[in-house]
Amino acid sequence: MYEERNLRRALAASVETHGGEQAKRAAEQIVGAGPAAKKPALRSAAARELHGQGWTIIPSAFDLLETYRKPINKKLSGKKEVVFNHEVFEAGASNDGKRLQVALDGDVGAQILAVLWQELTRADVVSDEHNVNTLVALLSEAGCARQPCHTDLDPDLLTKCTEDTMPLLILVALDKDTSLQIWPMDCDEPFELPLPQYSALVFRADLRHAGSAYERSNV
Ligand SMILES: O=C(O)CCC(=O)C(=O)O
């Protein structure tokens, strides 16, 4: 069991260039989008920031996800998967076992993905090549260490990606005091990027980052 008052909840989702048709259809119903009309290349201020520095924040767009806290909490009180969390990023390295995740699938997952897609579309950071899929809730238990620096996909496999086809990751902070460690391009040192409650961090799959250390149990 996790102490309700000590939980911070976040959602992480991936935006990839394949899969996720169900969520996209659900999203299309919400936003009323018809059959895909080819959009011009991404050019909103948020999209320019995303591809210029590697990330952008969509502020306070996700307070309506509060509605889904009950089912998310229920999932988090069940069986969870351990996420890598060792000091050295290598197979078999020790892991404190305090960074955990659970897949958010089924109807609730599809509904949340639809909300995400709607906001990503509104912010104009996704292209017709993107689909949103693979939704997880992340939980860091008290004393969870910082993750090692990593990218979620191998950057060597992404060199041919355009802004329209670059896979993206989204981290939604459902509680206060969430952050992510970020290594901007060409920087050896990370900085801690605070994520305001209900904001979403959208970042490119080639951005180096790490989950923050947390003193108290949180997501
Ligand atoms: O736990 C977090 O805040 C981020 C996790 C993460 O970046 C990852 O597992 O790839």
Separation of CA 79 and ligand 1 centre (Å) = 18
Q: Is residue 212 part of a domain?
A: no
Which CATH number characterizes residue 58's domain?
2.60.120
Q: Residues with Cβ within 6 A of ligand 1? A: 83, 99, 138, 147, 152, 180, 209, 211
Q: Is residue 213 part of a domain?
A: no
pLDDT in tens, 142-191: 889 889 899 999 999 999 999 999 999 999 988 889 999 999 988 889 99
Q: Is residue 172 part of a domain?
A: yes
Q: Is residue 211 part of a domain?
A: no
Q: What is the average per-residue pLDDT within 196-212? A: 94
* pLDDT class of 90 with cuts at 50, 70, 90: low
Ligand 1 mutation target, pool 89, 101, 180, 202, most atoms within 8 A of CB: 180
Q: Please give the residue range of the domain that contains residue 54.
A: 12-34+41-206
Number of domains making up the chain: 1
Q: Is residue 187 part of a domain?
A: yes
DSSP 8-state class, residue 144: B
In this predicted structure, what is the pLDDT of residue 199?
A: 92
Q: Using alpha carbons, select from 208, 210, 89 the residue that is nearest to residue 155.
A: 208
In this predicted structure, what is the pLDDT of residue 166?
A: 97
Q: Is residue 18 part of a domain?
A: yes
* pLDDT class of 217 with cuts at 50, 70, 90: confident
Q: Is residue 7 part of a domain?
A: no
Long-range contacts of residues 178-182, Cβ cutoff 8 Å, at least 24 apart:
178/8, 178/10, 178/212, 178/218, 179/212, 180/209, 180/210, 180/211, 180/212, 181/146, 181/147, 181/149, 181/209, 181/210, 181/211, 181/212, 182/54, 182/55, 182/207, 182/208, 182/209
| Average per-residue pLDDT for the chain | 81
Contact 150, 209 (CB under 8 A): yes
Q: What is the average per-residue pLDDT within 112-130? A: 93
Look at the pTM and tell me if it is higher than 0.85: no
Q: Is residue 77 part of a domain?
A: yes
Residue whose CA is at the smallest distance from ligand 1 atom 2: 211
